[in-house]
Amino acid sequence: MSGIYCRVFQAGMKEANYFLGYRMPDCLEGAGCLKRLPALIRSKGADQLLVVTDPNLVKLGLAAKLTDLLDHEGLHYTVFSGVEPNPTSDNVEAGFKVYQDHGCRALVALGGGAPIDCAKAIAAKSVHPHKTVAQLQGILKVHAKIPLLFAIPTTAGTGSETTVAAVIIDSATHHKASINDPSILPHYAVLDPELTQGLPPKVTATTGMDALCHAVEAYTNHTYNTELENFLAREAVRLIHDNLLKAYHDGKDLEARGEMQKAAFYAGRAFTRGCVGYVHAVGHTLGGLYGVPHGLAMSIILPHVMRQYGPAVYDSLSELADACGIEGRTNAEKAHAFIRWIEAMKEEMQIPEGAEMIQEKDIPQIIAWAMEEANPLYPTPVTWGNEDFAELIAELRKERA
């Protein structure tokens, strides 16, 4: 697909974006704000809830914190916890069956990006019950009012509580793709840092780097952004610069945890309009083929893509460096210093430098899927073809000393 075609398509999308009605969900914020959610749900006339979560949160007792509050308010609910770390179309179909069988009329998603994305996909299915997940994936395939959806993130990374995307793996093909539609944006988000205090340092690291990736990719893409997206991306990067390592080293630091939740929320809203780029396009393939957690894939790939973009991102990265107080004499120096900061954080948080799991036989499929996802939709600073993706993958697979 030619670069000229991609840019023409993106120019059309830029104009279309003005008619898509982007918004942010209404928020409950602050330590302990989860306790206020049941009253909010009742005030909105919602009952017969489907609570979507994952087995680990049930095991850790976080799901019980929510359901105890729902019980106290006298709300009726059914729990669906069959969500995998990379949610699949089978997970969505199973959750939708529970939604139907129990006469549910609203959804509450509790967890990281996986349960929230799965809940968004179940909501999409509820208004298109005869369509498969694959038929809903793509751009503007839902286009209908979904049931009330309340999102409660327990990580500070994906920003799924404020995005129009639900990333789902096709159970048959292992292809990871998004449902992209403003219709599936949650109506309410609960940003309670107490829910992230129990995160292991490794999860804190990779989810925080996922948020950084969202902000950096949105900011280095120019075409679709307004001043709002650029402001939110810069602010998200600043918050991550100031707080991620604090949260990583001291999981009980509620202030750092809260700031990271805010960063993830801002970054999610920034890329909702500004889009992501080739980090995500390649990273999604690693999740689909090898089960690599999304945040880990983003963490590994981000600095490699930014370095390969070269001069096309020097101005943007230098502005992000300025937001963080990272110095340099020229824009190029500041851009490289910014990339080195990302790599230094990865090293301190023990995140691998490369992606040795990539198998030679899978490279053509990785490139094909990445091209299909990214071109022409993502307004990346440089338009890549097969050779560019092959160069990135070779760098990711390079043996490290």
- The mean pLDDT of 247-269, rounded to a whole number, is 97
At 131-164, the pLDDT tens digits run 999 999 998 999 999 999 999 999 999 999 999 9
Task: Give residue 2's pLDDT.
Answer: 73
Indicate the residue among 129, 163, 191 that finishes a domain. 191
Task: Give residue 16's pLDDT.
Answer: 86
Q: Residue 336 in contact with residue 328, Cβ under 8 Å? A: yes
Above 90 in pLDDT, residue 396? yes
Kindly give, in sequence order, each residue whose CB lies less than 8 Å from that of residue 245, ignoring residues fewer than 6 positions away.
345, 348, 349
**Residues 180 and 208 both lie in one domain:** no
Side by side, the strands of the sheet bearing 148-153 are 26-29, 188-191, 148-153, 106-111, 49-52, 77-80
Above 60 in pLDDT, residue 401? no
What is the chain's alpha carbon radius of gyration, rounded to the nearest angstrom?
20
Is 1 part of a structural domain of the chain?
no
**Residues 270 and 393 both lie in one domain:** yes
Look at strands 188-191 and 138-139 and give their pairing. Answer: unpaired
**Residues 84 and 113 both lie in one domain:** yes
**Residues 206 and 165 both lie in one domain:** no
Task: Give residue 158's pLDDT.
Answer: 93
Is 176 part of a structural domain of the chain?
yes
Is 392 part of a structural domain of the chain?
yes
- CATH number of the CATH domain containing 294: 1.20.1090.10
Tell me the angle at which helices 294-309 and 201-220 cross, rounded to the nearest 10 degrees.
40
Closest CA to 199 of 159, 250, 149: 250
Q: Which amino acid belongs to residue 364?
A: P
Above 90 in pLDDT, residue 234? yes
**Residues 383 and 241 both lie in one domain:** yes
Kindly give, in sequence order, each residue whose CB lies less than 8 Å from that of residue 198, ignoring residues fewer than 6 positions away.
60, 62, 251
Domain holding 169, by residue range, is 33-191
At 2-55, the pLDDT tens digits run 789 999 999 998 998 888 878 899 999 999 999 999 999 999 999 999 999 999
How many domains does one find in the chain?
Answer: 2
To which residue do tokens 């179309």 refer?
A: 89
Q: Residue 152 in contact with residue 195, Cβ under 8 Å? A: yes
- CATH number of the CATH domain containing 158: 3.40.50.1970
Count of Cβ atoms closer than 10 Å to residue 74 Cβ: 9
Please give the C-alpha separations between residue 319 and each of 298, 303, 336, in angstroms, as whole numbers.
Answer: 21, 16, 12
Is 229 part of a structural domain of the chain?
yes
**Residues 171 and 214 both lie in one domain:** no
Task: Give residue 198's pLDDT.
Answer: 85
Handedness of CA 42, 81, 92, 207 (dihedral sign): positive
- Burial call 264-276: b when 16+ CB within 10 Å, e when fewer: bbbbbbbbbbbbb
